[in-house]
């Protein structure tokens, strides 16, 4: 049995039509752009910007956004080519199954768990932080933080986290919503996007007048910056590493803020609901990427100009709920803005979590119908016709991370999973150009060899710029995925015997 057995394009389209014929093509280009913006703008912008500034890039976080955006642009062009050519659900997993074979498809599918599932966990943790900020810190530290987090307050009292209950709560509510099968119209999504974009624009417009030039000098963290130690003597920031200061810090910051761009690829999961996927999918993917990149650069410039990057070093101070902190501390007279920002961000985070959980359940569903995961993941509710068992399993898995793992750890793992998928998708486009040059491509990534290579290289550089512990954990996760594949998935695959290979499986040989 070949590890690289492939599904054909004609058969995977037929399978999608048979299993999801209830989906209606109602989304136009504008709706897809709004969907992308709705999925992108969330915890990455409002939380990870401050984390990147305080840990590695300083005011140079704006440059980190540019580096991350360039990598995403190359990957986005590759996604756009695939999405227009193979307009079905399953995203990168489905593309790789057709082009590179089952093992690579499994690896990408396993990596996507880190993107969508851990992404949902990270955003739910950010949701918890903002909720506590809105409530004036009414939730005790122990009940809204991971047991792996602790700090010593100004009074010298040691605070130790136990479980993040608010994060668990929002995940439960949204999981129940997904099980019931709520259908969000394009109009509702557009309203949410309007609110989130309006908040970002208001903060940029109002905050611009509070920018202090000295906060942008020096623009990059100096190499001789001493480590930051909290009152308990614990080192909370060390800038000695190559990716913690200077231009190396910009790359390190890019790996952190890359999380802010996660979501544009989620547009590809709506391919079967696009009115004209051959034209609208590239517009949706690349259009949402362009809009968000511009907003991110302006946002990072204002945030690090209003508050010094040093304010974002300590998670117990400015890094958590950084926007509200900057407004309350340095933009006096705009307390109303801090409150409205927090309320609207909570709503925005909720939509991001919902999209992430939906995307993950769709990937699980597709992998299950291919036999690579147990049938449980594709079992539909008898009344609501939703993959309810998959939703419940997801809640347990995502909830465990949200309740017991710090947001920074889950966020970096999410970045790894996405970057890894982007590397393989970028390579996949070039492989398909070589092996099947005559297949119709409604959208073609320009100068494919250059775009594919640069997309893969830049995303790979951002992977190795991640924290060493994150890389070790991610490596362990991928090894676990290979074990699952060889012990279960390979033997249960619908393509496990030559006689079961779909009739057009040689389309991409």
Q: What is the pLDDT of residue 302?
A: 94
pLDDT given at position 80: 84
pLDDT attached to residue 347:
79
DSSP class of residue 377 equals G
pLDDT in tens, 386-402: 788 888 999 999 999 89
At residue 480, the pLDDT reads 94
* Average pLDDT rounded to a whole number, residues 93-104: 83
Domains plus CATH for the chain? 25-492 (1.20.1740.10)
Q: Is residue 492 predicted with pLDDT exceeding 50?
A: yes
pLDDT at 19 over 50: no
Residue 22: pLDDT band (50, 70, 90) is: very low
Report the residue count for the chain: 509
Rounded mean pLDDT, 303-312: 88
Q: Is the model more confident about 131 or about 191?
A: 131
Q: What is the pLDDT of residue 44?
A: 67
Give the pLDDT band of residue 62 (cuts 50, 70, 90): very high
Based on its alpha-carbon atoms, the radius of gyration of the chain, rounded to whole angstroms, reads 22
pLDDT of 141 higher than 70: yes
**Per-residue model confidence (pLDDT) at position 507:** 42
Predicted local confidence at residue 509, as pLDDT? 41
Record the tokens describing residue 261, joined without a space.
Answer: 């761009």
DSSP element (H, E) containing 466: none
More confident residue, 264 or 123: 123
- Position 503 confidence tier, pLDDT thresholds 50, 70, 90: very low
Taking CA atoms, 52 is separated from 44, 66, 369, 415, in Å, by 10, 13, 39, 13
Average pLDDT over residues 63-70: 89
Mean pLDDT of 269-289: 78
Maximum mean pLDDT: which of 151-160, 227-236, 342-351, 453-462? 453-462
| Residue-by-residue DSSP string for 25-93 | --B-HHHHHHHHHHHHSSHIIIIIHHHHIIIIIGGGHHHHHHHHHHHHHHHHHHHHHHHHHS-STTHHH
Task: Please check the confidence at residue 435 and state whether its pLDDT lies above 90.
Answer: no
Q: Pick 409 or 429 by higher pLDDT.
A: 429
- Does residue 509 sit in helix, strand or coil? coil
State how far the Cα of 273 lies from the Cα of 268, in Å rounded to an integer. Answer: 10
pLDDT above 90: percentage of residues in the chain = 14
pLDDT above 60 for 202: yes
The yes-or-no verdict on residue 83 having pLDDT over 60 is yes
**pLDDT at residue 171 is higher than 80:** yes
pLDDT over threshold 90, residue 483: yes
- Does residue 1 have a pLDDT over 60? no
Percent of the chain whose pLDDT exceeds 70: 86
pLDDT in the model for residue 98: 80
Q: How confident is the model at residue 205 (pLDDT cuts 50, 70, 90)?
A: very high
The DSSP string of 241-295 is: STTSSHHHHHHHHHHHHGGGGTTGGGGGGGGGGBSSHHHHHHHHHHHHHHHHHHH
Give me the mean pLDDT over the 194-209 stretch: 88
Of the ranges 80-94, 298-312, 429-443, which one carries the lowest mean pLDDT score?
Answer: 80-94
Name which residue leads in pLDDT, 503 or 143: 143
pLDDT of residue 153 exceeding 90: no
CA 283 – CA 100 distance, rounded (Å) = 25
Average pLDDT over every residue of 2-21: 66
**pLDDT tens-place string over residues 341-357:** 777 788 778 878 887 88
CA-to-CA dists, residue 405 to 29, 100, 137, 375, angstroms = 38, 34, 20, 29
Distance of alpha carbon 11 from alpha carbon 351, whole angstroms: 33
Q: How many other C-beta atoms can be found within 10 angstroms of the C-beta atom of residue 203? A: 24
pLDDT classification of 89: cutoffs 50, 70, 90: low
Q: Please state the rounded mean pLDDT for residues 85-113.
A: 81
Of the listed ranges 58-67, 87-96, 128-137, the one predicted with least confidence: 87-96
pLDDT of residue 508: 37
């Amino acid at each position: 049995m070949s590890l690289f057995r492939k599904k054909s394009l004609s058969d995977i389209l037929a399978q999608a039509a048979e299993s999801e014929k209830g989906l209606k093509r109602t989304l136009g280009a504008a709706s897809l752009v709004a969907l992308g913006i709705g999925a992108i703008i969330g915890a990455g912008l409002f939380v990870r910007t401050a984390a990147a500034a305080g840990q590695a890039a300083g005011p140079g976080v704006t440059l980190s956004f540019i580096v991350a955006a360039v990598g995403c642009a190359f990957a986005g062009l590759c996604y756009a080519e695939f999405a227009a050519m193979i307009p079905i659900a399953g995203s990168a997993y489905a593309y790789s199954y057709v082009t590179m074979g089952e093992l690579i498809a499994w690896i990408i599918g396993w990596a996507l768990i880190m993107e969508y599932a851990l992404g949902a966990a990270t955003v739910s943790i950010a949701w918890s932080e903002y909720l506590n900020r809105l409530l004036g810190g009414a939730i005790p530290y122990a009940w809204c933080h991971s047991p792996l987090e602790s700090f010593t307050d100004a009074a010298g009292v040691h605070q130790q986290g136990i479980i993040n209950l608010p994060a668990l709560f929002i995940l439960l509510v949204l999981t129940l919503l997904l099980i019931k099968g709520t259908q969000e119209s394009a109009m509702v999504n557009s309203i949410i996007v309007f609110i989130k974009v309006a908040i970002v624009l208001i903060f940029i417009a109002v905050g611009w007048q509070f920018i202090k030039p000295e906060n942008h000098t020096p623009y990059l963290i100096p190499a001789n910056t001493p480590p930051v130690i909290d009152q308990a003597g614990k080192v909370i920031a060390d800038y000695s590493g190559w990716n913690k200061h200077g231009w190396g810090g910009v790359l390190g910051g890019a790996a952190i803020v890359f999380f802010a761009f996660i979501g544009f690829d989620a547009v590809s999961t709506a391919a079967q609901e696009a009115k004209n996927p051959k034209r609208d999918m590239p517009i949706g993917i690349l259009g949402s990427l362009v809009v968000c990149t511009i907003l991110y650069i302006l946002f990072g410039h204002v945030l690090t100009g209003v508050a010094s990057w040093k304010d974002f070093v300590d998670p117990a101070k400015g890094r958590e709920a950084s926007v509200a902190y900057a407004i309350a501390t340095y933009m006096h007279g705009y307390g109303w803005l801090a409150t409205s920002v927090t309320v609207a961000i909570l709503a925005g985070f909720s939509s991001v979590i919902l999209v992430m959980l939906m995307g993950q359940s769709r990937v699980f569903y597709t992998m299950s119908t291919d036999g690579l995961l147990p049938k449980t993941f594709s079992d539909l509710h008898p009344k609501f016709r939703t993959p309810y068992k998959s939703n419940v399993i997801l809640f347990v898995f995502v909830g465990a991370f949200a309740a017991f793992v710090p947001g920074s750890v889950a966020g970096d793992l999410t970045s790894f999973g996405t970057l890894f998928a982007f590397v393989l998708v970028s390579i996949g486009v070039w492989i398909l150009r070589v092996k099947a040059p005559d297949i119709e491509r409604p959208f073609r990534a320009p100068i494919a060899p250059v775009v594919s290579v640069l997309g893969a290289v830049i995303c790979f550089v951002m992977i190795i710029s991640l924290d060493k512990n994150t890389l070790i954990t991610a490596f362990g996760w991928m090894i676990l995925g290979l074990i699952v594949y060889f012990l279960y998935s390979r033997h249960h695959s619908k393509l496990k015997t030559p006689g079961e290979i779909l009739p057009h499986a040689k389309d991409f040989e």
